[in-house]
Amino acid sequence: MHASPNISLRKGLPELIQTYRDFVESQLFPIDLQVVNGPFRSFLPQLNELRKKAKLNNLFNPHLSEKEGGLGLNLLEFAYISEVLGQSPIGHYIFNCHAPDIGNMELLSHFGSDSQKVNFLHPLQKGEIRSCFAMTEPENAGSNPVNLSTSAILEGNDYVINGRKWFTTGADGARFTIVMAVTNPEATSPYERASMIIVPLDTPGFKLLRNIPVMGESGEDYLSHGEILFENCQVPKENLIGTEGMGFKLAQERLGPGRIHHCMRWIGICERAFDLMCRRAAHRMLSPQKPLSEKQSIQNWIAESRAEINASRLMVLDTAKNVQIHGAKAVKEEISTIKFFVANVLTKVIDRAIQVHGALGLTDDTLLSFWYRHERGARIYDGPDEVHKAALSRSILKKYQS
């Protein structure tokens, strides 16, 4: 583990955090349950107005540099903001820092060509379009990202792409995708077989087959996970990001900070679920004089949740500091640790909150059932718990074996 050096945060960060909190609580909390219960697109005019308001209040794009039209927050500073935004299912969307767009912005900003930045990155940064990221395949284990069937064959000046992807978040309504496809099948290293290529979704040969039902809910727009097909889908070779064979390296660059973003969003969800749980315990009466909160089991859940959320926050912020100083590759142990630890805390806190709500917790009258459906995947995507635990233990044991 790396020691955490002191990093001075910008002046005014506590005030900025409070500004975001006020916006989220006053503007998003009153409508977010209605939005996720849908239909989502019927709320787009209202959500677009909120995005305009975020821009007017200089709160849009907190993760981007000031030159790119953002606030210039570093990874650690943005982590604090991300927790606040995570308390609403539409928080990151309103401020244009939702997945997978935020990861695609980082990717194109660092590795995109000038024309790719003009045609794809800049409209994304302005919030004019959405994007998606196509990597996971139904026929291959997502825990092994070098095992891909989708191919991109260079014919003349164009790549011809064939393959099927699924859990392509936000494909419904997106303008383009970044697809991970095999361009160099004969490469000596399996980590140099794949490349990343931009595919506009109006390209002939691209097809959105369906929004995958997740625990009975298909969702729509950015709250969906698409299954997509590339069938002789032809794009110019200028759509290649970086050089051929860089796909795995680019994916790792994208996933490191992405796991910080996810973990802080999960902590935000935990805080909202915790608040709902405490309110329910305090006000649900078992008899005229006896609230639910007097039950020792409920008190234990509240105490355990508070401790676990606080521990999660400190772990993630510490990891964010170390990523800033040393880079994601140097702190991969910490990144694996927070990924499975916080995902499990999220699962436990939501489950306890549902249990305290009783039958109400199973309904769509609170956000808890939405989060229970959508966030169970936290222990699977971006690397299942078991993969991160195995990687962490191997890394630790190497020091003893050597």
Q: What is the pLDDT of residues 222-250, one digit of tens each?
A: 999 999 999 999 999 999 999 999 999 99
| Host H or E run for residue 178 | strand 176-182
Looking at residue 5, its pLDDT comes to: 53
Task: Please state, as a whole number, how many other Cβ atoms lie within 10 Å of the Cβ of residue 53.
Answer: 14
The residue among 5 and 83 whose pLDDT is bigger is 83
Residues 98 and 154: beta-carbon distance below 8 Å = no
The residue among 289 and 8 whose pLDDT is bigger is 289
Structure tokens belonging to residue 236: 């110019």
Rounded Cα gap, residues 325 and 269, in angstroms: 27
145-169 pLDDT, tens digit each:
788 999 999 999 999 999 999 999 9
Looking at residue 257, its pLDDT comes to: 79
**pLDDT for residue 1 is more than 80:** no
Side chain identity at residue 184, one-letter code = N
Rounded Cα gap, residues 264 and 268, in angstroms: 6
Looking at residue 7, its pLDDT comes to: 66
Residue span(s) of the chain under CATH 2.40.110.10 come to 131-241
Q: What is the pTM of this model?
A: 0.94
Helix 296-326 and helix 332-357, axial crossing angle in degrees, nearest 10: 160
CA distances from 324 to 196, 252, 319 (A): 25, 16, 9
**What's the pLDDT band for 141 if we cut at 50, 70, 90?**
confident
Least confident of 83-87, 305-309, 380-384: 380-384
| Cα–Cα–Cα angle for 84, 301, 374, rounded to 5 degrees | 50
The topology under which CATH files domain 248-401 is Butyryl-CoA Dehydrogenase, subunit A; domain 3 (1.20.140)
Looking at residue 329, its pLDDT comes to: 85
Looking at residue 239, its pLDDT comes to: 98
CA distances from 100 to 92, 222, 232, 382 (A): 11, 9, 25, 12
Q: Across all residues in the chain, what is the average pLDDT?
A: 94
Strands (E), 201-273: 206-211, 225-236, 240-241
The topology under which CATH files domain 13-125 is Butyryl-Coa Dehydrogenase, subunit A; domain 1 (1.10.540)
Residue span(s) of the chain under CATH 1.10.540.10 come to 13-125
Rounded Cα gap, residues 38 and 30, in angstroms: 14
Residue span(s) of the chain under CATH 1.20.140.10 come to 248-401
Q: Which CATH superfamily is domain 131-241 in?
A: Butyryl-CoA Dehydrogenase, subunit A, domain 2 (2.40.110.10)
